[in-house]
Amino acid sequence: MVIAKLIALLRTFLVFFVGGLLMVATVICVLLIGDAVSKHCLHDNPNPTCGDALFFAAVSPVYGIGIGMALNFLPLLVGALLAVLGRAAYRRLPLWYVLAIVPACVLAHSTQATSWLPDSEVRPLYERLLLFAVFQTVALLVCWWWDRRGSWD
């Protein structure tokens, strides 16, 4: 019984941490591939070729995971640990608890190091936090659904 509970807690942690990282990496990959195709294939610039865009498309998952870990490690960790805590307390993760995790993830995101972009290219903090909160809510809901789908309690 104790082993099954520990396995369920580990599964919840992995679903929220790795699942969240995969969602972040997917969004970053789509943005990187779209940017590469736009720059290399759709414009009449002779220097970069469509082959370069194919190369960027092939390596974008590696970049997506690296950039996702660099930008969202702390929010992913906070969300996963709070999900494990909720699962341990309630035996099954309630939806209201998952939605209550969002402010903690936004706070963790705002305490991370600032972006490497110059100040002229960075959007105001409230815009970045609002965009992150929307994305984090969707990611937490998908992870919550995934975790409930595989639970046996």
* Secondary structure letter of residue 27 according to DSSP: H
CB 130 within 8 A of CB 102: no
d(CA 122, CA 48): 27
Of residues 53 and 108, more confidence is placed in 108
Q: 119: pLDDT confidence band, cut at 50, 70 and 90?
A: low
* Secondary structure letter of residue 12 according to DSSP: H
Range with lowest mean pLDDT among 2-6, 79-83, 116-120, 135-139 = 116-120
94 exposure class (CB count in 10 Å sphere: 0-12, 13-18, 19+): middle
Which tens digit of pLDDT belongs to each residue from 126-151?
A: 777 888 888 889 999 999 898 888 66
